[in-house]
Amino acid sequence: GNGFLNCEESMVWALATGFEGDDRMWQQQYIELCKEAGTFQGVNFEKFGDMIDDDTEEGVGMTDDEIRQMIKDVAFLKPEKKEVHYSREDLKQSVFEILDTDGDGFLGQEELWPFVQQAGFDGNHAEWKEDYLELCAEFQVDPSRGLSCMDFGALLDDDSDQ
């Protein structure tokens, strides 16, 4: 693995801990988990451990015995190897929602930082600031506000090297 649980992988755990929704409901819950973790890569070991150890209403709070039982049960809960097909628009919307950490419907310079790093940007924050300003000028948006979901989708669909 890559050190992160993706949506499908984490659904196995969710089912084992009592989640009763469908695939789409889990996708929305998973997006919220990723937002809380501050990543769009998935749920890492640390976040997963925090959730298991959290006995508040928001957490799962599992005992060692419950974890052992879940490990035994997971083999029976794994979904069949069926392909889940989300449309490209659904995927773009999901990434946007994960990145939009303040929930204002726009992606600012700092919210886009993890995305551009994952996409291969190897510059520092100062260089990203310059590129971000150029990006905003290209999309004709106010840099203090950032990219809308539609703008972000257009950015993802842009095949140029810019």
Q: What is the mean pLDDT of residues 115-123?
A: 85
Over the stretch 24-48, which tens digit does the pLDDT of each residue have? Answer: 888 888 887 777 777 767 777 777 7
Q: What is the pTM of this model?
A: 0.53
Over the stretch 53-94, which tens digit does the pLDDT of each residue have? Answer: 777 766 666 777 777 676 666 655 455 544 555 677 877 888
DSSP result, 67-122: HHHHHHHHHHHSPPSPPP---HHHHHHHHHHHH-TT-SS-B-HHHHHHHHHHTT--
